[in-house]
């Protein structure tokens, strides 16, 4: 090798070291620790795909009802039939063509039957059901990710699991109290505005309150609610959380605003400093809301929150003036409750019910113990390898020691640069990388020894040793990279962490064993005189 090229190559090595140190220092701030090292929450959730169908049915029901109203088509009610069907009853028989065209827009892929001159039945076919459940799982995953991001958790893991893909794994490093987290993750946060169905003869609609029992409600309606209405409960509590009253509200089945009509939500406060929630609707929803509030000035409209299994009225304010795309939700919220609800609303409603089927919390002390144990194991392994290399390969062993030290530095630097997460299996990967890196040096050194036994000069033996060992080292690392690829592709969080560390380590070991170690030998061989012996 030309001596003029050696300074350039050492400058490259120095630059690589400088970049690695830049990224890795200080390690406590630059290297992300996984759940098993930092502590945090592990939650496995099961998605109830059947609830996705119920949600889609309710959403479609409201959309059709609002569309009929916008087109000036009168009807008596839209009622669900079973779990995958609904009926439009009492529609204007003179608008049959308009009704069919409208239903084609909203349920074009459904089975549509005309029951009479003014009624239609819509049934959801199996293909549509499958599409809805699959899309709902993806939407649920995206919504949960948005909610976790809103919490500010660093480096969370959120991914699907299971053969059906209907389980979602969530790992939140650094989180200790998961009570609030569970509420935020599980709450469907489907917000709806519904018109109140007043009993016959009600005059003062602004101050009317519903009865405090289901029996009382049915009594004021003569024993039966109108077909276009259903009952929602409102639970009123005191400041300490004690239930003080229950109201049973008769509300229209068709919602004016529902779920994904919300564009944004944020916590605010009223003139007395009490927490509330300011919301903003999409353009289309704002138009519909403007029409509905104009028609209900002086009357009450109910704000309903919940999912497909349970919903409750959180407040029923009197509409004082027409409202379009912006409004305020008031319900006696604490600051934290208002903040949490605003987060859930702006992150999007969950189109499914999700149940927690596994949860565990890793405390920070356990994570610290894992770090200590992992570092201790890695250190013992590293020192043991170094001692063996120096004893067995003498001064050339120091070459391997330098290469191994730089290898670890490069691995940590690359992990910090790409914001990879270091887990306990990742530390195991580091230990394995040390073994594989020194294996490359062993292959090279043994090849140099073999060449020297054949009578080759030191220069020739070193050249032949590196040249002939290269393909063997490359082949070994490629086969290991293939295994790491499949581990990363099909493994879960900790297994992925192991695969990432292993992949980065293999790349670093190729650089240190083939390039850095070679330059160290060249430093010895290129001092201007012929080297007769090599301590190896």
**Non-local CB neighbours of 507 within 8 Å, separated by 6+ positions:** 414
Domain 48-127 has CATH 3.30.1240: yes
Which pLDDT does position 212 carry in this prediction? 93
Which pLDDT does position 6 carry in this prediction? 76
Pairing, β 167-173 against β 157-161:
antiparallel
For the chain, domain boundaries:
6-39+363-525, 48-127, 140-361
Which pLDDT does position 309 carry in this prediction? 65
Tell which wins on pLDDT, 519 or 6.
519
CB-based contact 68:75 (threshold 8 Å)? yes
Q: How many CB atoms lie within 10 A of CB 476?
A: 15
Q: What is the Cα gyration radius of the chain?
A: 34
Instruction: Classify domain 6-39+363-525 by CATH number.
Output: 1.20.1640.10
pLDDT value at 243 more than 60? yes
The model's confidence at residue 2, banded by pLDDT at 50, 70 and 90, is: very low
pLDDT digits (tens, 9 = 90+) for 409-424: 999 899 888 888 788 7
Best-predicted range by mean pLDDT among 212-216, 254-258, 274-278, 397-401? 212-216
pLDDT value at 397 more than 80? yes
The per-residue DSSP string of 268-319 comes to EE-TTS-EEEEEEE-HHHHHHHHHHHHHTTTSBEEEEEE-SS-EEEEE--B-
CB-based contact 256:34 (threshold 8 Å)? no
What's the CA gap between 343 and 345, in Å, rounded?
A: 6
**Which of 49, 59, 51 is CA-nearest to residue 133?**
49
Tell me the average pLDDT across 257-281: 83
CB-based contact 275:338 (threshold 8 Å)? yes
Chain-wide mean pLDDT for the chain? 86
CB-based contact 335:329 (threshold 8 Å)? no
Percentage, residues of the chain above pLDDT 70 = 96
Which pair of tokens denotes residue 95? Answer: 């608008």
Of 14-23, 75-84, 171-180, the poorest mean pLDDT is in 171-180
Instruction: Give all strands (DSSP E) within 384-483, no chain letters.
Output: 421-422
The per-residue DSSP string of 181-198 comes to HHHHHH---EEEEEEB-P
Tell me the average pLDDT across 81-97: 90
3-state DSSP of 514-530: HHHHHHHHHHHHCCCCC
pLDDT value at 1 more than 60? no
CATH fold of 140-361 reads: Gyrase A; domain 2 (3.30.1360)
**Which of 347, 368, 436, 437 is CA-nearest to residue 148?**
347
pLDDT value at 176 more than 80? no
φ, ψ at 378 (rounded to 5°): -65, -40
Of 31-35, 44-48, 119-123, the poorest mean pLDDT is in 31-35
Which pLDDT does position 199 carry in this prediction? 93
**Which of 387, 442, 381 is CA-nearest to residue 408?**
381
């Amino acid at each position: 090798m030309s001596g003029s090229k050696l300074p350039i190559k050492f400058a490259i090595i120095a630059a690589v070291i400088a970049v690695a140190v830049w990224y890795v220092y200080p390690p406590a701030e630059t290297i992300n620790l996984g759940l098993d090292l930092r502590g945090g929450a592990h939650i496995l959730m099961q998605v109830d795909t059947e609830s996705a169908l119920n949600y889609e049915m309710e959403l479609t029901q409201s959309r059709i009802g609002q569309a009929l109203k916008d087109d000036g088509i009168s009807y008596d009610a839209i009622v669900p039939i079973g779990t995958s069907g609904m009926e439009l009853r009492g529609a204007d028989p003179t608008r049959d063509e308009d009704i069919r065209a409208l239903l084609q827009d909203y349920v074009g892929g459904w089975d549509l039957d005309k029951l009479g001159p003014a009624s239609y039945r819509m049934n959801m076919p199996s293909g549509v059901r499958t599409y809805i459940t699959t899309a709902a799982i993806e939407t649920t995953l995206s919504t949960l990710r948005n909610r976790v991001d809103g919490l500010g958790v660093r480096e969370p893991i959120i991914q699907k699991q299971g053969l059906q893909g209907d389980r979602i794994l969530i790992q939140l490093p650094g989180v200790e109290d998961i009570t609030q987290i569970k509420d935020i993750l599980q709450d469907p946060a489907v917000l709806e505005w519904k018109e109140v169905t007043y009993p016959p003869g009600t005059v003062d609609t602004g101050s009317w309150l519903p009865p405090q029992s289901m029996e009382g409600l049915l009594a004021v309606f003569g024993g039966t609610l109108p077909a276009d209405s259903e009952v929602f409960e409102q639970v009123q509590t005191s400041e300490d959380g004690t239930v003080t009253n229950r109201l049973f509200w008769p509300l229209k089945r068709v919602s004016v605003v529902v779920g994904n009509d919300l564009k944004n939500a944020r916590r605010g406060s009223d003139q007395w400093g009490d927490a509330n929630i300011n919301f903003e609707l999409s353009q289309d929803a704002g138009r519909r809301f403007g029409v509905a509030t104009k028609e209900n000035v002086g009357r009450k409209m109910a704000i309903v929150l919940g999912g497909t299994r349970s919903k409750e009225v959180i407040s029923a304010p009197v509409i004082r003036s027409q409202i379009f795309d912006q409004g305020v939700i008031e319900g006696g919220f604490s600051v934290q409750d208002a903040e949490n609800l605003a987060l859930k609303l702006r992150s999007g409603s969950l189109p499914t019910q999700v149940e927690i089927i596994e949860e565990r919390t890793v405390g920070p002390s356990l994570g610290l113990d894992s770090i200590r144990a992992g570092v201790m194991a890695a250190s013992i392994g590293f020192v043991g390898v170094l001692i063996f290399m120096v004893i067995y390969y003498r001064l050339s062993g120091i070459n391997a020691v330098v290469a191994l030290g730089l290898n670890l530095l490069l691995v940590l630097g690359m992990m910090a640069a790409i914001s990879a997460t270091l887990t306990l299996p990742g530390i195991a990967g580091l230990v394995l990388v040390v073994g594989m890196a020194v294996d490359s040096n062993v292959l090279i050194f043994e090849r140099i020894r073999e060449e020297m036994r054949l009578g080759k000069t030191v220069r020739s033996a070193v050249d032949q040793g590196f040249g002939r060992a290269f393909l063997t080292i490359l082949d070994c690392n490629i086969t290991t990279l293939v295994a790491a690829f499949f581990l990363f592709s099909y493994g879960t969080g900790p297994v992925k962490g192991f695969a990432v560390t292993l992949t980065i380590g293999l790349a670093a070991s190729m650089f240190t064993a083939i390039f850095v170690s070679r330059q160290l030998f060249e430093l010895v061989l290129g001092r201007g005189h012929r080297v007769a012996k090599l301590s190896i």
